[in-house]
Amino acid sequence: MARPGMVVVAALVVPLTFGAAAAEVVRTSEAAFRITVIASGLESPWGVAALPDGRLIVTEKPGRVRLVGTDGRLSPPLAGAPPTVANRQGGMLDVVLHPRFAENGFVYLCHVAAGEDETSSTITRLRLAGDRLEAPRTILTVTPRVANGFHFGCRMAFGRDGMLYAGFGDRFQMERSQDLGDLNGKIIRVTDEGAVPADNPFVGRPGARPEIWSYGHRNIQGLLVDPATGALWAHEHGPQGGDEVNLIRRGANYGWPRATHGVNYGGAPITEHRSLPGMEDPLKVWGPTSIAPSGFAVVTGPAFPAWQGNLLVGALRDRSLIRLVRAGERIVGEERIPMFGERIRDVRVLPDGRVLLLTDSREGAIWRLDPAS
């Protein structure tokens, strides 16, 4: 449901099978593009990052990491990937590069690791060396571990301050999100080596984990740093309805499960509150039907000048790419661009402004949006 004053428009594209649509020009309210298939045959691709030489590095949820050549050729799975538990929503998930990757070759993987009879979201740093990953270092393990396969979160972004931010889910145990002694349901901030910065908001607070940057999150599925302002943005899955976009502030509480626009599966209420004092309200809410957002990017570069500064969100349930228009810290417009029946798992913007999308399926692909007249 749109907020008052928000403009919602649908892209001018007729949903077709992708095979028929690949050569079509997709016309939206502000731009037109064609879809180029960069690579296909990926099993549940989850995260992608662009290397400085034009290649891509992509994760597959079952536990693999591959390189994609500039010719679209997929490498075999890279040797040295960390052990990963692929169970329900867990597996090999997000990937980001160190800000000085060209110098040090460091790749950060967020994946699910085993511990006794339970699992946890884990960030591992490795060095990309040719066709293998080496020198693994555990940067963060989300504890306490939990014995289910849900709500791992696992999105990452480097800030302009050089710190690594990562968002995690509540593991389908909602009260964890409000517990400052628990890393589940939180956004964390650590150095590139995994140390706790001295200026984190809960450093020195008894009973609180010093890695925490913000809390009260249900299941983070998108995280980005705006290169123009340095601001940290996130989106997360609600339960039934209540998917939301937030501007992340130091030490803030984002409400889950004390306040939410969603309801339990089946319709039972979670809380009577949509807003509470001392808690941050979302800047954008989708409901009563969830779109299941996944992947998050801000448009920069020359390829789509009319989209400059807009936020792009992939949608799994809605099978679309969603463009959000900003005015300062407000979201004032939304455009839904149908993606030919495909679930969109990740969204990244290349340095030249073209957009990469990952399609979420057992026969997943990497698409690139190229501007068209």
Catalytic residues: 151
**DSSP assigned state of 117:** T
DSSP characters for 179-218?
-TT--TTEEEEE-TTSPPPTTSTTTT-TTS-TTEEEE--S
Any idea what the Cα angle at residue 366 is, between residues 349 and 125, rounded to 5°?
Answer: 70
**DSSP assigned state of 175:** G
31: its two tokens: 């731009």
Please measure the distance between the N-terminal and C-terminal CA atoms of the chain and give it in whole angstroms.
Answer: 32
Which one-letter amino acid corresponds to residue 81? A
The answer to whether 346 touches 296, Cβ cutoff 8 Å, is no
Which one-letter amino acid corresponds to residue 210? P
d(CA 313, CA 321): 6
d(CA 167, CA 306): 30
φ and ψ at residue 104, rounded to 5 degrees: -110, -15
CA–CA distances in Å: residue 15 to residues 22, 23, 304, 362: 12, 13, 22, 21
Where does residue 361 fall: left (phi above 0), alpha (psi -120 to 50 degrees), or beta otherwise? Answer: beta
DSSP characters for 323-335?
EEEEETTEEEEEE
Cis amide prior to 144 (ω within 30 degrees): yes
The answer to whether 302 touches 353, Cβ cutoff 8 Å, is yes
